[in-house]
Amino acid sequence: MRELGRRARAAARRVALASTEDKNAALRAMAARIRAEADAILAANEQDLAEAKAKGQPASFIDRLMLNPERLEAIAAAVESIADLPDPVGRVLARFERPNGLEIERVATPLGVVGVIFESRPNVTADAGALCLKAGNAAILRTGSESFRTSLAIAKAMGEGLEQAGLPADAIRLVPTRDRAAVGAMLSGLDGNIDVIVPRGGKSLVARVQEEARVPVFAHLEGICHVFVHGAADLEMAKNIVLNAKMRRTGVCGSAETLLVDRACADTHLKPLVTMLLDAGCAVRGDEAVQVADPRVTPATEEDWRTEYLDAIISVRVVDGLDEAIRHIESYGSHHTDSIVTDDVATAERFLAEVDSAIVLHNASTQFADGGEFGFGAEIGIATGRMHARGPVGVEQLTSFKYRIRGAGQTRP
């Protein structure tokens, strides 16, 4: 593992200085190698699948692990699409001239070495490696044990693509062992050779990484997202947004888990919203006022307000106006994504200013919490921390910066 770290650091230096053309050529070559080695990758996946089935893994797990020609083509196409993104390295973020004539530029630079720890989803090997490379970083990838053979075959194709473009294969390396101690080594930072860790997976993985990592982490532990239907909300708009925020996809981190309804409009809005959700197949857990609205509502406990269901379940509460809504969100939320529905602009602006979440919305669904929807292209995850990256972590968020100063012989008085 230590050797892996050293080699990644050396490779990071080379890809940091690589031209946009070379990086994009490498990404396209990687996609081509993934396509060329489809048989070997799918054969490795067969072995992983056989082992996972023998271990009695559930059908949903097997489905996430399974590759077929269509899925593998989607993986190759995703790598290619990252070549089409603008290069985030070298962007001039600010430029100013000082009275003494010094010209100062703040310019985007790579972060260094990114460690990505993920569960058994074969596509992450390609996605994460490609995003890191685009931002001029080296990547050390640790896959879940069950997709080890598949990920190794994909990583081999990526390394070949790098070398075809004259870049070091060490810039994207899969940890070459299923040994669980490797995760601990990555969390310790590999002698300073990992600059940031990105965990991709369930809450227990993210919690372990956040607890144990000795290097910065870009992650969100959970997405307890709220929709607040304010007293001045249009009912039809509120129904559309709430239904979409909860039910479009229930398993994504941007799905709504709690609906807050302003007491000022509860008489007119609460019952239609609750009935709509129930009729759409969503279980509703509510406070007393909500239970009155429909007999199918079950009581919500204190625990419900803190729960990310990731399922067709929602907790619903009546609150006394904006201030109580904000207090609820700040007390129980996870600073991920929260939305207000209202026709009152001043109220909306207070919500947007005072809710301390990575993403705050006015009159839009929480399911827009996604790098693609922001126009960032692919993302490596969504971060709820306040350090460095926040919200969707795309290629721009995988960069740092430095100051370049051009003078004409200036000395400091």
Stretch that binds a copy of itself, among 21-29, 33-41, 238-246, 273-281 (CB under 8 A): 238-246
Interior CA angle at 199 toward 27 and 38, to 5°?
40
Tokens 């700040």 belong to residue = 330
Cβ-contact 139, 167 below 8 angstroms:
no
According to CB under 8 A, which one of 16, 62, 276, 310 is a site residue for a copy of itself? 16
Pick from 119, 160, 170, 195 the residue near a copy of itself by CB under 8 A: 195
Distances in whole angstroms, Cα of residue 247 to Cα of each of 66, 255, 297: 25, 8, 17
**The amino acid at 389:** A
Q: State which residue, 82 or 89, has the beta carbon closest to a copy of itself.
A: 89
Rule CB under 8 A: choose which of 196, 229, 314, 325 binds a copy of itself. 196
Task: Using CB under 8 A, pick the residue from 76, 138, 359, 380 that binds a copy of itself.
Answer: 359
Can you tell me which of 248, 263, 271, 328 binds a copy of itself, judged by CB under 8 A? 248
* Contact between residue 1 and residue 185 where contact means Cβ atoms under 8 Å apart: yes
Told to check if 59 binds a copy of itself by CB under 8 A, we report no
104 binds a copy of itself (CB under 8 A): yes
Per rule CB under 8 A, is residue 64 in the interface with a copy of itself?
Answer: no
Task: Give the other-Cβ count within 10 Å of 332's Cβ.
Answer: 18
* Strand 298-299 versus strand 337-341 pairing type: unpaired
Query: Is residue 150 a contact residue for a copy of itself (CB under 8 A)?
Result: no
Spatial contact of 159 and 60, defined as CB atoms under 8 Å apart: no
Task: List Cα–Cα distances, 248 to 34, 222, 244, 251, in angstroms.
Answer: 32, 18, 5, 9
* 14 touches a copy of itself by CB under 8 A: no
Pick one of 357, 379, 393, 394: the residue that binds a copy of itself (CB under 8 A): 357
Strand positions, DSSP E, 166-277: 172-174, 196-200, 225-229, 256-262
3-state SS class at 174: strand
Name the residue nearer to a copy of itself (CB basis): 46 or 234: 234
Q: Which is nearer to a copy of itself, 203 or 404 (CB)?
A: 404
CB 40 → a copy of itself: shortest distance, Å? Answer: 36
Cα distance between residue 413 and residue 411, in whole Å: 6
Rule CB under 8 A: which of 214-233 touch a copy of itself? 216
Q: Which of 2, 8, 13, 37 binds a copy of itself (CB under 8 A)?
A: 13
Residue 6 found at the interface with a copy of itself (CB under 8 A): no
Q: In whole angstroms, what is the distance from residue 241 CA to residue 235 CA? A: 10
Give the CA count within 13 Å in the CB-facing half-sphere of 359: 31
Q: Is 391 in the site for a copy of itself (CB under 8 A)?
A: yes
Stretch of residues binding a copy of itself (CB under 8 A), selected from 26-34, 72-80, 94-102, 275-283:
94-102
Residue type at position 377 = G
Choice from 32, 62, 232, 364 touching a copy of itself (CB under 8 A): 364
Q: Which is nearer to a copy of itself, 61 or 385 (CB)?
A: 385
Measured distance CA(189)–CA(197) in Å, rounded: 9
Q: Which stretch binds a copy of itself (CB under 8 A): 37-45, 181-189, 284-292, 361-369?
A: 361-369
d(CA 229, CA 342): 7
Q: Is residue 276 at the binding interface for a copy of itself, with CB under 8 A as the rule?
A: no
CA dihedral 333, 335, 341, 343 (to 10 degrees): 130
Look-up of token digits 């001239």: 97
Our finding on whether 181 is near a copy of itself (CB under 8 A) is no
What residues make contact with a copy of itself under the rule CB under 8 A?
13, 16-17, 96, 98, 102, 104, 109, 111-112, 195-196, 216, 234, 237, 240-241, 243-245, 248, 330, 348, 352-354, 356-365, 367-368, 373-375, 386-388, 390-391, 400-412
